[in-house]
A and B are shown apart, each in its own frame.
Chain A
Amino acid sequence: MLEIFTLFADWLTHAVLGLDPSSRLGQAVHFFVEDTSKILVLLMVMIYVIGLARASLDLERVRAFLQRKHRFAGYLFGSGFGAITPFCSCSSIPLFLGFTSAGIPIGVTMAFLLTSPVINEVAVVLLWSLLGWKFTLAYIVVGMCVGILGGLLLDRLRAERWLQDFAARAYRQAGDHSDAAPQAQPAPGTMTFAERHEFAKNETLEIAGRIWKWVLIGIGIGAALHGFVPEGWFERQFGTGQWWSVPAAVLAGLPLYSNATGVIPVLESLLGKGLPLGTTLAFCMSVVAASIPEFLLLKQVMLWRLLALLFAILLASFILVGWIFNAIAPWLDIV
């Protein structure tokens, strides 16, 4: 299915621009055209589809569904729901409060909150088109596991103690009347298809307009690394033998949160030059998920202690994921 982009790049580079396929410039241009066209098209399609799904999703029903579920199924669905919901100030705080005040177990809400930043449609498209479906699937599964296990841990720690007062009170009250459904105001009208399309279209244009330049920059840097860094350089510098390379990768990813779309294209080259799989995965998760400014907004609904704990759980699990994947990479044959 994706060959069409290779054919397009063949046509543009060789037939239209008349570049020699064996020349260095010809190869670089081909690489750039193929990757940018593929990624931009897939991104638009994916953001649109997810936008449509999101507009069709009735949050009140999702919430009622999570309330009824057995705890463990609840964790799975809470985390899955986090995967398709974007993590931003516009969505996470009201959803968090909606869940909490409905008495959904704190661990399930936390599973949602931990998974939401790790998995998002933009990262998934980039990973899939650049690193293949196996790596992407591994990323999604691992991301959901981080959310579910983190949620279970926070449940055991009774994390509701560290919510802001008003949220904690609402949670307790809801728990006292667990059989009484929350008095949700009916959502003002369900959306018609035209409205959903409008929502998804706006979403696509808004996100694509924001990130396209990062994609181009990232692919440019990736192409440069591709051409100039010697084969196996990363393997010698940060190979699996060095235990510290994974924590270092996670720390290095922290300040890059705003440029996740630019960083992922670079990963392709890094992997190609021998950066170990686990280290790459850990770096990727850190870049995509650990956005300090977005996390600080959660201060409105939770105390510092819980906020720090959430962040620490994310970072610690990325490091663990890195080590585990480095250890099992020889048997995986993922990339």
Chain B
Amino acid sequence: MKIEVLGSGCRKCTKTAEQINTAGAELGADFSVEKVTDPKAMMQYQVMRTPAVVIDGKLVHSGSIPDHDTIRNWFE
């Protein structure tokens, strides 16, 4: 699956992407993580709080670094 992390490149966004990468690798999932800093993408998904996470074109999270369990749930 295709995971996008939306954010203007702040520390929280970087951390979010890292944690998704770690969790995905642990679970042996087939995925790709991309950090999207383009503000147009934020507007398209109507995101008002970053970091936000989009999976296969669907907004699943916004406003904080997602916790461990939340991330694992996405892979199941």
Chain A residues engaging chain B, CB cutoff 8 angstroms = 59-60, 63, 88-91, 93-95, 97-98, 101, 164, 166-167, 170, 182-185, 187-188, 198-199, 202, 297, 300-301
Contact = CB atoms under 8 A, between A and B. Distances in A.
Nearest to A182: B46
B33 interface: no
Given A88-B10, A167-B43, A300-B8, A94 B64 contact: no
Contacts of A93: 8, 39, 42, 50
Contact of B43 (A59, A89, A97, A297): A97
A63 B48 contact: yes
A150 B24 CA distance: 47
Contacts of A101: 43, 46
Is chain B's binding surface mostly helix, strand, loop or mixed?
A: loop
Given A185-B46, A198-B67, A89 B59 contact: no
B46 A90 contact: no
Contacts of A301: 39
B30 to A, nearest CB: 23
Contacts of A59: 48-49
A88 B7 CA distance: 11
A132 B7 CA distance: 38
Nearest to B59: A185
B62 interface: yes
